[in-house]
Structure 1
Amino acid sequence: MSVNLLTLEDGLTRLTLAPHIGGSIASWQVIASDQPLLRASTAQALSSGLANQLACYPLVPWSNRIGGGGFDGPDHWFALEPNNPAVALPIHGSAWQQAWDVVEHTAQYACLQLDSRLPFAYHAQLRYTLQGGQLSIELCVTHQDEHAAWHGLGLHPYLPRTAHTHLQAKTSHVWLCDGLGLPTERVRLPVDWDFNQLIALPHRRLDNCFTDWDGRALISQPDLGYALECRASNSPYCLVYCPPDEDFFCFEPVSHPVNAHHLPGHPGLQLLHKGQSARLGLHMQYRPL
C-alpha cells in the first residue's frame, strides 16, 4: 500500500509519522548516526498497513484486552468483537486500526485527529512535538456517543532491546494473568520484575501491568549509546512486554489495568458522557551516553 509519511526534526532527532496507519510513529532516530530510538519500521511493515508492526501507536478508547464480549455502561451494553487475528479478545481499542487526518504539520510539530464510530462515537486527537531531543506525545479523547461509556488511554512504543538494555520504573505491584492475558491476581513484584532499581530486562516472558507507577522511567541502552528519560501524565499504570528471543520490548504508559472494565471499581477508567474528555501524555528525552 502507498504510505504518506510526515517528518519532524529538531536538529538532534528525526520523527517520522504514518497518520493513515493508526496515527502511528514509523520511526524516531538520531539524525547524526541514524540510531533508532524506537523500533525502526521496515518497508514491509509500512506496506502491511498494520500499526502494531510500526514503532508506536495510540490506544483509544481502551488499552489491552477486554473479556466478556464487551462491557456495560450506565444504560447500554457495548458489544465488542476480537480485532486482531493473533489475540482471542478485543485489544487496544479501535483507533490503531483507522486512518487519522492531519490537522497541522510544522517542522517540529504535528496534530492528528480521528472521528470514530467504533465501538461508539468518539473524537481523538494526537499531538506530536520534537524539541531538543525530546519527543512529546499528547493523546486526548472526547466522547461523542449518546450513551455514556468507560474510557481508557495508552501509548504502545516498541523499543530496541539488546543484552544490556535496562529499565527503571517505580511501581508497587503487578497483575498476574491467565492464558488469555486477563488479570487474575495482584501481587508484590517478583525479583526479576522489580524495576524500582535499574535492572536488565527478564529472560522469561513478561506481558503484565504494573500498578502505582509514579509516571517516570529510565530506559538505558549502553550497547546503543543512549538513554531515554520518560515522564508520563495521567498514567498510574504501565505495561511491560518482553517477548523472549526478540530484539524489541514495549514499555506502555496506560491509564488503567488490563480488563479494568470488569474489575471492581473500574480502576483507572473514566466514565465519559457526550462532550467530556480524557487525556494522557508522554515525554521521552534522548540522552547520549
Structure 2
Amino acid sequence: MDPIAPSGRQLELVHGDAAVTIVEVGGGPRDYRVGGVAVLDGYPVDAMASHGRGQLLVPWPNRIAGGRYRWDDATLQLAISEAKTGNAIHGLGRWSAWELERVGPATATASFIVRAQSGYPFTVAFRAAYVLGDDGLTVAMTATNLSARPAPVGMGAHPYLYVPGPNGTPARADDALLTVPAERRLLVDEALIPNGDEKVADGPYDFRAPRQVGDLVIDHCFSELRRDPDGRARVILAGDGGAVTVWMDEAWEYIQVFTGDTLSADQRRRSIAVEPQTCPADAFNSGHGLRTLEPGETFTGTWGITPTL
C-alpha cells in the first residue's frame, strides 16, 4: 500500500502557465506557480503544513483567549491548541479532511462541515470555491449555519507569499516594498490577544503608501481598511521581480501581516504571510467583526492572489 501524503489528496488547477495545488487536509492551497516561479511559500507534498501555511481558518481565525468564551449565558471551553500562549488557535478545520471536487481544469471546491462538539456546539458548513484565471487565484469562502440555534462564525486564510526577486528567485521579507491600506493596527498582550488599537499614521507600521520593510518585525492585525472603487482592499508585496497582491472584498475587515520572525532559522523572514480575516483574534469574546449566523443563514467573502511577475 502506497503511503498517503500528510496533506491528503492533491488537486491541481491549471490556467495558461499558472498552476495551483489544493489539498484535502485544511482545504487550502499548498503550491502556486506562474511560469515555474513560486508565488506561495508553501510546503512539499511529503510534509505537513507548518505554521498554518495555506490553511483555511474556520470557524474562527487567529486566537481565542484561553479557548474560553461566553455564548447564550453559558461558558464554553475549546481545546487548547497553542501550548505556548494557552489559547485556541485558527479554528477547527486545519487538520481535518475537506471534500475536494473538481469543477473544471482551473476550478474546484473544498467543503467541510464543522460538527457540533465540546466548546463549539454548532454545526456549520464551510465551502471554498477556487478559480484560477487571468487575474490570478480567486477564493470565495462561504459559511452556512446548519444548526437550530444562532452560531458565532469567523473565517480566515493563511497564505505565505514570496517577495518577487530577480530572475524568478524570491527576495527576503526585508527587501519587500509593502503596501497595507489600513488606518489602524491592533495592540496585543503577551498571549497575543488584542487589548487596544492605535492609528498607524506616521508610525513604524504605516504602510498606507509603499515602503520597504527593512528589519521591521511585523506580526500585527490591521483594521479600518482603505478600499478601492471596486470595494477591494489590496495588500501588495513588490520586489525587483514584480509584485504579488492579496485582495479581499468587504467581508474581510481585518488583515494579519507576519514577517515570520518566530519561525525556524531557515524559514525566518523568507516570505510574508498576508492573512485575510473576517474578524480579529478573540472575536468570540470581543464581538469585533464576529458574524452571528441564524439557522440556515449563509455568509460569503471573497479574496484572491494576483501575481505580476
Q: CA deviation at 1:85?
A: 4.5
1:82 and 1:90 in contact (8 A); partners too: yes
User: Gaps spanning 5+ residues in structure 2: where?
Assistant: 164-171, 227-231, 262-267
* Local SS of the residue matching 2:279: coil
Match of 1:270 among 284, 288, 291: 291
2:178 and 2:238 in contact (8 A); partners too: no
Q: CA deviation at 1:154?
A: 1.3
Aligned to 1:7: 12
Aligned to 1:167: 178
Mapping of 1:10-89 within 5 angstroms?
10-19=15-24, 21-30=25-34, 32=35, 34-45=36-47, 48=48, 50=49, 52=51, 54=53, 56-74=54-72, 76-85=74-83, 87-89=85-87
- Change beyond 3 A, Cα 1:260–1:53: closer
Match of 1:239 among 245, 249, 256: 256
2:132 aligned with 1:130: yes
Aligned to 2:207: 195
| CA shift digits 1:131-185 (9 cap, x unpaired) | 1141000111111233322211111111124132122121111111111000112
- Change beyond 3 A, Cα 1:64–1:95: same
- Change beyond 3 A, Cα 1:105–1:86: farther
Q: State the one-letter code of the partner of 1:83.
A: S
* Local SS of the residue matching 1:95: coil
CA distance in 1, matches of 2:271, 2:79: 28
Aligned to 2:245: 229
2:61 and 2:90 in contact (8 A); partners too: yes
2:144 and 2:298 in contact (8 A); partners too: yes
1:74 and 1:148 in contact (8 A); partners too: no
Mapping of 1:92-111 within 5 angstroms?
92-111=90-109
Q: CA deviation at 1:61?
A: 0.8
Aligned length: 278
Q: CA deviation at 1:91?
A: 0.8
2:246 and 2:274 in contact (8 A); partners too: no
CA distance in 2, matches of 1:181, 1:174: 13
CA distance in 2, matches of 1:25, 1:211: 25
2:308 aligned with 1:287: yes
Q: State the one-letter code of the partner of 1:98.
A: S
* Local SS of the residue matching 2:32: strand
Q: CA deviation at 1:25?
A: 0.8
| CA shift digits 1:33-71 (9 cap, x unpaired) | x211111312442xx3x46454x1211111111114322
CA RMSD, Structure 1 to Structure 2 (Å): 2.0
Q: State the one-letter code of the partner of 1:241.
A: F
User: Gaps spanning 5+ residues in structure 1: where?
Assistant: none
- Change beyond 3 A, Cα 1:128–1:192: same
2:65 and 2:86 in contact (8 A); partners too: no
CA distance in 1, matches of 2:126, 2:52: 21
1:182 and 1:258 in contact (8 A); partners too: yes
* Local SS of the residue matching 2:252: coil
Tell me the percent identity: 22
CA distance in 1, matches of 2:248, 2:83: 30
